[in-house]
Amino acid sequence: MTMFHFFNCAILAFGPHAVYYSATPLSEYDTLGTSVKAALVYLGTALVKLVCLATFLQVSENDGFDPYQELLKALIGFIDVAGLYFALTQLTHRNISQNHKFQAVGLGWAFADSVLHRLAPLWVGARGLEFTWDYILQGLEANANLVLSISLAALGSLIWLRKNKPKTLIPIIYACAGIVATMPSITSYLRRGLGWHFPKVVGFELFTSLVMAFISWQLFSACQRPYV
Amino acid sequence: MANSKKPGGLREMLESMYSVIALLFILVACVELCDAAAAFDVYRLIQYDMSGSPFGSRFAALNHHAASLHFPPGVDLSRTVLIIPLRELNITFVREYINQKKPLGGLLVLLPEVLSFKTGGNNQVHEKEKMKNLLAELERLLIHSNIPYPVYFAFENDEIDTALADIKKNDLMGQPATATTGGYKFVIPTAEPKKVASPTMTNIQGWLSGLKTDGDANQLPTIAIVASYDTFGAAPALSVGSDSNGSGIVALLEISRLFSLLYSNPKTRGRYNLLFGLTSGGPYNYNGTQKWLRSFDQRLRESIDYAICLNSIGSWDNELWIHVSKPPENAYIKQIFEGLSNVAEELDLKVGLKHKKINISNPRVAWEHEQFSRLRVTAATLSELSVTPELLESTGGLFDTRQYVNETAIVRGVKLVAESLARHIYGHQGKNIQIFADESSLAVNPAYIRSWLDVLSQTPRVAPFLSKDDPFVMALKKELAGHVDEVNVQHETLEGIFTFYDSTSARLNIYQVASVTFDLLLLLVLGSYLIVLFSFLVITTRGLDDLISLFRRPPSRKLKTA
């Protein structure tokens, strides 16, 4: 029964990535290579972040919200953005349209994040006899993360790959990108500073991810329309 | 050359990587963390055979769902653990279950925390008498029944209280916990209980020599003071026996301390030897005492004037009893009784005499003095019990904890015995001289009694589970050695009609489990979620036609070529 539960949580956490890949035209254009490369870039970024965190951060005894530490964590979080930039611009992709490029990069990024952050806790925890809702919530969080990563990749591609953008939309694009990039800090503030429980935090993440996805979709299609 | 090296080096690297990956897989598969909601100590009911008949709880491992007393009637409990807090215990219910051999997965009795010697401390027990009677009855029932499922005792704490409240709620709603309805699972992972091979009894004897002048050709007479130190109870890991016989041990140690003070100075050394005996095997017809006496030299045995055995002198108010097996008209018995009553009068307490004849053919030995009498040594037992205890009764059970012992009673008992002994030794019978007066240097020390009583009330002392070099037995020996001239330790095997099994305590894990149906439902929900997601993505990115075309067979090639 408990392996069953692990299997359930695993397909919740990793299933949507596979479904996304097979459902959208990504599979038709064989963009797997791009996703894999993006995953590797995420791995490298995670290692760099780990080293920086270990060097600069102090471990606090209580679980409270320390603004200075959180600021430091947010700054280190921007290494994420740098990694995404690297994946979008520097890697050589085969001839795939920009539309598909950001999706593939975002997908690979989210999959690597999900595996690295959730596979080990799921394997160790979900197989035990004791039942908690935590692992299902972690799977939902992985889903929200997928949507957020794809939106961030979309906004990133708008910022760096598309040269001609309508002037009015540029600040909005940057603002949205900023919000999405600082999502980790926002969630940790909610959890520690305001003391929200895990289900509430996951609900908030799902909601904001859908909202941001919708906004970035609108921005993307607005930039694609040939304008006068 | 450089070229040929490269592929070889690469292959080696790959091979080492494979082995690392394999190791990682093995490691990952072996990780089994204990993630129980709660884990705490539980103590098993004793398991023993008496003359081949099995008694007690015959199993130790437990892995069942839990139910409370509010279970819906008629439900099958053969794979359920029943949890009963002591205050809700109904003896007739338990007796009915055991006597009618109704199938049960396991039984867990929750004792109030105040009785725990680790955390209860010295808090007062409410409704002392009622709890004592209930526990005594429960113990009597469990010890003399053959129970084919594990029975455990545990102390109430917050975790198990919350779990029990939850279980009660579920039971009242009519949903007992099974594999398909979730609930709480109690797991005790322990091995099968094995027989204790050759259990040892350790007798400790201390010898205090009297003053031998040159004129004495024969050996000096001896007076023996004996107390048995081991216990027996329903839960051997909890059998601390503060009254039976912790009070006796403490009194013996204090008496030995007082007389060692007297005997240290040759001017005050009496013309009697003193023999102190801490015997084992008390609950089992005083088997240890018998073996100890049999090991004596004939001359030593004949030189014993009389023996006083101490048994449970910790919780009496004003009356003590002297139990004898020789008729009260016997001159020696009269002497002992008069000596004790004279002192008792001065101390403002009563002593009564109780005579119980020995039946040589009956192997049952109810009092320690009977073992002396069987070897024709005059002896008497001083006890607060007026009724002869049955086999395995009054041997330090669940209710015999520190809170039920009164140290002032022990102090008075020590005074009584020490004074009467001293008057006999120094020949002051009938004279009103207080040798161990309060405020003197020979006063009875209540702090000594209290500290040893506290130690004893935290040490379970069931003989088969005490090894040969058990630290507690060594401590007793060391303490006695500080007060006497010579200490001897005698190890004997506990043979006879009793066989014991180990596994007296274990760790209980409580898991809150979800049912299989829950996971099946979850699988259904997730499956439909993924399917919906798939269709949504196909429709938005490729169009509805594509979705439909996925389900349509591709047009047959035959038709096309035709």
Give the separation between CA B141 and CA B133, rounded to whole angstroms. 12
Compute the mean pLDDT over every residue in chain A, rounded to the nearest whole number.
81
Q: Which helix (H) or strand (E) holds B446?
A: helix B446-456
3-state secondary structure of B358: coil
> Smallest CA–CA separation between B535 and chain A, in Å?
7
Dist. CA A218–CA A213, nearest whole Å: 9
How far is the C-alpha of A179 from the C-alpha of B124, rounded, in Å? 62
CA dihedral B116, B121, B125, B129 (to 10 degrees): 60
pTM for the whole structure? 0.78
Distance from CA of A169 to the nearest CA of B (A): 24
Which residues in A lie closer than 8 A to residue B513 (C-beta atoms)?
A: 1, 129-131
Q: Residue B516: which residues within 8 A CB-CB, separation 6 or more? A: A1, A4, B179, B180
Mean pLDDT per 10-residue interval, chain B, length 562 residues: 54 71 61 65 92 91 88 82 90 90 90 78 71 90 92 91 87 69 84 90 92 73 94 91 91 94 90 93 91 91 92 90 91 90 89 91 91 92 92 87 89 92 84 77 90 92 90 94 93 88 91 83 92 86 73 58 46
**C-alpha span between B383 and B413 (Å, rounded):** 9
Closest CA to B465 of B152, B240, B187: B240
Q: How far apart are CA A8 and CA A28, in angstroms?
A: 28
DSSP-derived 3-state class of residue B224: strand
For A154-169, the pLDDT digits (tens) are: 888 887 776 676 777 7
Token pair of B136 as six digits: 């005594």
Amino acid letter at B201? M
- Chain B residues in contact with A131 by the CB 8 A cut-off are 182, 511-514
Query: Using CA atoms, how far apart are residues B327 and B337, in angstroms rounded to an integer?
Result: 12
Instruction: Kindly determine whether residue B514 and residue A23, on different chains, have CB atoms separated by under 8 Å.
Output: no
Instruction: Please state whether beta strands B80-85 and B146-147 pair in parallel, antiparallel, or not at all (unpaired).
Output: unpaired
- What per-residue confidence (pLDDT) applies to B181? 63
How far, in Å, CA of B52 to CA of B62, rounded?
Answer: 25
B481 CB burial (10 A radius; 0-12, 13-18, 19+): middle
Decide: B147 and B45 in contact? Cβ < 8 Å: yes
- The C-alpha atoms of residue A201 and residue B387 are separated, in whole angstroms, by 69
Contact B484, B260 (CB under 8 A): yes
* Identity of the highest mean pLDDT range in A75-84, A94-103, B531-540: B531-540
Whether A182 shows a pLDDT value over 60: the answer reads yes
pLDDT at A56: 77
B542 touches chain A (CB under 8 A): yes
Angle at B138 between CA B134 and CA B142, to 5 degrees: 175
Report chain B residues whose CB lies below 8 A from the CB of A8.
Answer: 519, 522-523, 526
Say if residues A224 and A154 touch (Cβ distance below 8 Å): no
What ipTM did this prediction achieve? Answer: 0.85
Domain boundaries, chain B: 36-193+502-512, 198-492, 520-550
Cα distance between residue B486 and residue B276, in whole Å: 10
Q: Following CA atoms B516, B518, B521, B522 in sequence, which dihedral angle do they give, to the nearest 10 degrees?
A: -110
* Two tokens, residue B417: 């015995």
pLDDT (0 to 100) of residue B175 = 67
Q: How many CA atoms lie within 13 A of A30 on its CB side?
A: 2
Q: What is the pLDDT of residue A228?
A: 40
pLDDT at res. B33: 47
Determine contact, residues B410/B314, Cβ cutoff 8 Å.
Answer: yes
Residue from B431, B404, B434, B428 nearest B416 by CA: B434
- B148's CB contacts (< 8 A; 6+ apart) are B58, B59, B101
| 3-class DSSP assignment, residue B186 | strand
pLDDT of residue B119: 67
- Tally DSSP H helices, then E strands, for chain B: 15, 19
Strands B38-44 and B151-155: antiparallel
CA distance A223 to chain B (A): 18
Give the CB-side neighbour count of residue B228, counting CA atoms within 13 A: 34
Q: Residue A16: which of B31, B519, B533 has the nearest Cβ? A: B533
Preferred mutation among A8, A12, A124 to probe B, highest tally of B CBs within 10 A:
A8
Q: CB of B541 within 8 Å of any CB in chain A? A: yes
Q: Classify domain B198-492 by CATH architecture.
A: 3-Layer(aba) Sandwich (3.40)
B512/A131 CB distance under 8 A: yes
The partner residue sitting opposite A8, judged by closest CB among B526, B535, B536, is B526
Identify all chain B residues contacting A127, using CB atoms and an 8 Å cutoff.
Answer: 32
Q: Per-residue DSSP letters for chain A?
A: -HHHHHHHHHHHHHHHHHHHHHHSTTTTTT-HHHHHHHHHHHHHHHHHHHHHHHHHPPPPSS----HHHHHHHHHHHHHHHHHHHIIIIIS---S--HHHHHHHHHHHHHHHHHHHHHHHHHHHHTTSS---THHHHHHHHHHHHHHHHHHHHHHHHHHHT-----TTHHHHHHHHHHHHHTHHHHHHIIIIIS---HHHHHHHHHHHHHHHHHHHHHHHHHHHS---
pLDDT of the residue at B9: 64
Strand bridging mode B222-228 / B273-279: parallel
Q: Which residues pair with B306 in a beta bridge?
A: B223
The pLDDT value recorded for residue B154 is: 93
DSSP run (H or E) holding B112: none
A90-94, A174-178, B211-215: which range is least confident on average?
Answer: A90-94
| Closest C-alpha among B172, B179, B158, B188 to residue B63 | B188
- For residue B157, give the nearest of B222, B215, B110 by alpha carbon: B110
Please state the rounded mean pLDDT for residues A125-147. Answer: 85
Eight-class DSSP state of B346: H
- Phi-psi label, residue B345: left if phi above 0, alpha if psi -120 to 50, beta otherwise: alpha
